[in-house]
């Protein structure tokens, strides 16, 4: 049980680091306009409508790779126990859902993000998790 908990915690950390690095690279390539306060919801909503499509795809890629890395590492740390990756994927999905409700996103992005996260969880499950719970 302790190994399962540890693998989930470490999987979330790995997923967050990978997501942060890939999102950081995307923000470097597509920086927000100068002078925008990203802590102000009104300004954030205005900026989100002007973000280029490529920048939104960079965020989707970051979330996909974050879930894939986090769930895969959780499965491996837990001794290829699929439950660890599934719990990790679910928790990272909850973080992404919180982000999508906090910052306004287009409907196509929300649907694509859900699909990308579920697909990454599926790939990690098939590649590094056994069926036993």
pLDDT 10s digits, 106-121: 899 999 999 999 999 9
| pLDDT, mean over the chain | 91
Other CB atoms within 10 A of residue 104 CB: 14
Nearest to 15 by CA among 87, 84, 88: 88
Parse the chain into domains and list their residue ranges: 2-30+44-128
Give pLDDT, residue 90.
97
Nearest to 96 by CA among 41, 23, 32: 23
Nearest to 86 by CA among 111, 67, 58, 99: 67
Residues 84 and 75: beta-carbon distance below 8 Å: yes
SS3 for 45?
helix
Handedness of CA 51, 55, 60, 64 (dihedral sign): negative
20 confidence band (pLDDT: 50, 70, 90): very high
Which one has a higher pLDDT value, 114 or 40? 114
Give pLDDT, residue 131.
59
Give pLDDT, residue 85.
94
Q: Is the pTM of this model over 0.75?
A: yes
Tell me the CA end-to-end span of the chain in Å, nearest whole number.
11
Alpha carbons 102 and 124: distance in angstroms, whole number: 27
């Amino acid at each position: 049980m302790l190994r399962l908990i540890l693998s989930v915690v470490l999987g979330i950390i790995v997923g967050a680091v990978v997501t942060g690095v890939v999102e950081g690279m995307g923000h470097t390539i597509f920086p927000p306009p100068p002078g925008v306060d990203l802590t102000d919801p009104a300004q954030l909503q205005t900026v989100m409508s002007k973000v280029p499509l490529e920048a939104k795809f960079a965020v989707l890629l970051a979330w996909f790779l974050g879930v894939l890395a986090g769930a895969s590492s959780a499965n491996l740390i837990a001794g290829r126990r699929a439950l660890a990756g599934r719990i990790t994927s679910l928790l990272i999905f909850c973080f992404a859902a919180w982000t999508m409700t906090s910052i306004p996103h287009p409907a196509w992005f929300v649907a694509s993000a859900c699909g990308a996260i579920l697909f990454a969880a599926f790939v990690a499950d098939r590649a590094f998790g056994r069926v036993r719970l």
